[in-house]
Structure 1
Amino acid sequence: MSAEIRIVLVNTSHPGNIGGVARAMKNMKFSQLHLVAPKKFPHVEADSRASGATDILENAVVHETLEQAIADCHFVVGTSARGRHIPWPVVDPRELSSIVQGAGDKRIAVVFGREDRGLTNEELHLCHHHVHIPSNPDFSSLNLAAAVQVITYELRMADLYAEQVEQQKPQWGTEWDIDLADSADLERLFAHMEETLVDIEFLDPDNPRQLMSRLRRLYLRTVPDKVEVNILRGIMNATQKKMKD
């Protein structure tokens, strides 16, 4: 697979689940595991459940925050089991695998939340897309390792199929000329945007409603490149300068 895919687990409470995820990843030929503030890691139970995939645990990268874990990623997908107040682009695992195949050699993060309550709204707002596994609606709860297995299986199958195809159509129908903005670039953009909107009194910091969430959804949906982000920030710099004149 040309894309560089990392599996990110947020605030996992049971070390055995981390081991189970490592085993599921190695089954499907994935190796990059990133952990955000795990409750217990490293841990003997994680090693036991990994069952031969301890190399993935040994190389796992631990972060304090999700922002740190995805800072250098160009495309971030958060797993979500329920609908949100603000609708976000949602795909199933097979659709996700198609998107990843068209992403070239970009860095991609697939983010999984806590065993009992998944990802928070704030964490999901850091993601370009959400992925939903269409399980039995009468019994929809999936074990963390099982959820990782489903998604990595679909990514693996898409990769095997792509090997049989001479040329995959690029994401926009043509090769792109500029590197995509990574998550850190986008977070700086959103912080600058919020500051500017407050300066011009378009955003009331005491009553923000869902303005920044909707703007996040808008810009994440476009998957902007680095030059496009710089242009937007240049416009905001000029706007702020004009306000001070």
Structure 2
Amino acid sequence: MNLDNIRIVLVNTSHPGNIGGVARAMKNMGLSRLYLVEPRQYPHEKATWRAASALDVLEGAVVTGALDEAIADCQFVVGTSARGRRIPWPLLDPRHCAERVADLSGREQVAILFGREDRGLTNEELKVCNLHLNIPTSAHYSSLNLAMAVQIVCYELRMLLDADRLSAAEDAQWDAAFATRDNMERFYIHLEETLIDIGFLDPAAPRQLMARLRRLYSRVRLDEMELNILRGILTETQKFAPRDDGLKVD
């Protein structure tokens, strides 16, 4: 992915504060190319105020008098759309759209269009797009602020860009090795023995208890330290429960 090949295009934006909010949302996620098609109020102090620490993105915005000028050199254009169209068009959600954009941006210029706050993009504007993007929302309240919509799309791009780093960081931060299958089996034996000792499990009528407990612990990957803690709790519990001679836990 090449974020420098991705531009956010705002068409005929009504409120200057939304332009500043979009600039901030873009900078949060590492995008910097902002195009403004016939903004109704720009430049404006409200845009500057809302941009906060993203003034570089705001001041670098390209203002054009027509959509064609903003996307003339683009090979792939995405248009955000909140409603279905009479003629079906390729339509994706932000996550799958980001995957497509990420792939193409390595070698092509990509534009993502956002329409007017009150009515979005017109049918004519959507016709110039290769793909339509729809952000799923609750049926009870589907209206999204312009900056929020841009933030969602930019966030999905950021997550793809940082996927390898985030995965490596997650693995690197864990402080103990995950438990081996052999040690987990020893734990299950110890757990079953303890439950019998305290009278919670009747071996004559187990009622799938151990199977369900196996399923419970399998949903979370225990590390060796966590496993040792649980084994220690079981050992201490057994000290307070009289038990018959049976299988000893090693």
TM-score class, shorter-chain normalisation, is 0.5 to 0.7
- Opposite residue 128 of structure 1, the aligned amino acid is N
Unmatched 5+ stretches in structure 1? 166-245
Closer, same or farther: CA 127–150 of 1 in aligned 2, 3 Å: same
Partners of 2:13 and 2:123 in 1: CA distance:
17
* CA distance in structure 1 between the partners assigned to 2:93 and 2:150 by the alignment: 13
SS at the partner of 2:132? strand
Deviations 1:15-54 (A, max 9, x none): 0000000010011011000000000111100000011111
RMSD of aligned Cα (Å):
1.4
Specify the alignment match of 2:159 in structure 1: 157
Task: Give the TM-score taking structure 1 as reference length.
Answer: 0.65
Equivalences for residues 54-203 of structure 1 within 5 A: 54-103=55-104, 104-161=106-163
Quick one: distance in 1 between partners of 2:38 and 2:115?
11
AA in 2 matched with 1:90: L
Distance 2:150 2:160 in 1: 16
CA 1:162–1:34: 2 relative to 1, 3 Å: farther
Following TM superposition, where does structure 1 have runs of at least 4 consecutive aligned residues deviating by more than 2 angstroms?
A: 162-165
- Partners in 2 of 1:163 and 1:98 — Cα distance? 17
Give secondary structure in 2 for the equivalent of 1:27. Answer: helix
Decide whether aligned partners of structure 1 residues 29 and 86 sit closer, same or farther in structure 2, where only a CA change above 3 A counts: same
1:157 is matched by which residue type in structure 2?
M
Give the match for residue 41 of structure 2. 40
Alignment partner, residue 233 of structure 2: none
Task: Give the total of aligned pairs.
Answer: 165
Distance in 2 between residues matched to 1:142 and 1:101, nearest whole Å: 24
Q: Within 1, Cα distance between the matches of 2:139 and 2:2?
A: 34
Secondary structure of the corresponding residue to residue 136 of structure 1:
coil
Gaps of 5+ in 2: 168-250
Residue 163 of structure 1 deviates from its aligned partner by 6.2
What corresponds to 1:211 in structure 2? none
Instruction: Quote the Cα distance in structure 2 between the aligned partners of 1:160 and 1:124.
Output: 30
Q: Percent identity among equivalent residues?
A: 60
Cα deviation, residue 2, structure 1: 2.0
Output the CA distance in 2 between the equivalents of 1:108 and 1:43.
Answer: 27
1:101 Cα deviation after fit: 2.4
Secondary structure of 1:102 counterpart: helix
CA–CA distance in 1 between the matches of 2:122 and 2:58?
Answer: 25
Amino acid at match of 2:83: R
Residue deviations 1:194-222, cap 9 Å, x none? xxxxxxxxxxxxxxxxxxxxxxxxxxxxx
Q: How far 1:74 sits from its partner (Å)? A: 0.9
Distance (Å, rounded) in 2 between the aligned partners of 1:115 and 1:95: 24
Query: Offset of 1:164 from its aligned partner?
Result: 8.0
1:237 corresponds to: none
- Residue 2 of structure 1 corresponds to 2
**Partner Cα separation in structure 2 for residue 83 and residue 163 of structure 1:** 37
1:143 and 1:40 mapped to 2: Cα distance?
17
Cα 1:126–1:155 shift into 2, 3 Å: same
Which digits, 9 at most, give the CA deviation of each residue in 1:101-133, with x for residues without a partner?
Answer: 221221100000000000000000000000000
Query: Could you report, residue by residue, the CA deviation over 1:149-174 in whole angstroms, capped at 9, with x for unpaired residues?
Result: 00000011011126689xxxxxxxxx
Task: State the structure with bigger RCO (CA 8 A, min sep 6), 1 or 2.
Answer: 1
TM-score normalized by the length of structure 2: 0.64
